[in-house]
Amino acid sequence: MSQIALPYDLTPPVLLAPMAGITDLPYRTLVARFGAGLVVSEMVASQELLCRRPGTREKAELGLGIEGTSVQIAGREAEPMAEAARMIVNQGARIIDINMGCPAKKVTQGASGSALMKTPDHALHLIEAVVDAVDVPVTLKTRLGWDDAMLNAADIAQRAEAAGVQMITIHGRTRCQFYKGQADWRAIRAIKDAVNIPVIANGDIVSASTARTALDQSGADGVMIGRGSQGKPWLLAQVAHDLYGTQLPDVPQGAAFAEMVLEHFEEMIRFYGETLGGRVARKHLGWYMDTCRTPVDLRRALLTANTPDAARRLIPQAMYLGSTEAAA
């Protein structure tokens, strides 16, 4: 099995991608329980983090001090990025990940995320500032480039490695592709060939079969799974089993699936409170119902439940009917 040593071996090399509004603490905890080499927090803006100074809930949300968790930060200025990294490491962060891959307009219009690929000299200045500010591993997540005319990920990766970055994750699309078309795993090989540090392939990896193809085509050291895990928190562990022979996860079926969903729902309510937790839970409940093929009438009833108690009454029935699509 491939081993990726940062502060400890990231074994298996099957990682959970950071997804805004999705990879919160309750979801990361659930995925990690099934098995994952690393889970990454939702992206947090460095300047926003400095303004609000993490309290108890924020520290839990970022996963500060939790083994197997990376905290992803984003920004456009070196000093706030370095200060934010230093602050969260002092509060227990084990790994810092720099976001240079987010394609969202609200991020790129602020010259952050994948917009940094248009200004590689400036991006390198940010990377150097963060690496110099902390004594934990710093990793980088990026795309192939800004667009087809600017495929500069290999050059940026080389410069990031020289600056001290210890692992790079590449989403196999350009920023201007957003999530359209198919991720180009073959294009990731140019980045893998350019550096000596581990490279992780990301984008459209939704099963053991696609993970194996992505590894074969990219030559990468591991895979990162994002949207494919929605409604299937066991997917990373299942892919790791099929590719690397790790323990086969016990994929819940029937009543056990309903029980898992209800536990996840309760964790969201406990973490966010009833009002916000109920809203956050809806998208996860929708993905779970996609997985178990809930009938339309039950789906509608659950997604329009106006109190946590109403949702609690419906979850066992809505999640028990049908069967989970467990195959990876």
Q: What are phi and psi of 38, to 5 degrees?
A: -165, 140
Answer yes or no: is 308 a known binding residue. no
Answer yes or no: is 226 a known binding residue. yes
Please give the structure tokens belonging to residue 121. Answer: 């000299």
Using CA atoms, how far apart are residues 218 and 161, in angstroms rounded to an integer?
18
Answer yes or no: is 19 a known binding residue. yes
Give the SS3 label for residue 119.
coil
Give the SS3 label for residue 24.
coil
Answer yes or no: is 227 a known binding residue. yes
Answer yes or no: is 72 a known binding residue. yes
Answer yes or no: is 167 a known binding residue. no
Q: Pick from 212, 131, 200: which is nearest to 170 by CA?
A: 200
- Residue 166 one-letter amino acid: Q
Residue reference for tokens 């929605």:
230
What's CA 199's distance to the chain center, in Å?
A: 15
CB 28 within 8 A of CB 69: yes
Answer yes or no: is 198 a known binding residue. no
Q: Which of 51, 102, 176, 292 is catalytic?
A: 102
Measured between alpha carbons, how far is residue 143 from residues 49, 214, 279 in Å?
A: 24, 15, 31
51 catalytic per annotation = no
Which residues form the catalytic set? 102
Binding site members for FMN: 18-20, 72, 141, 171, 226-227
Binding site members: 18-20, 72, 141, 171, 226-227
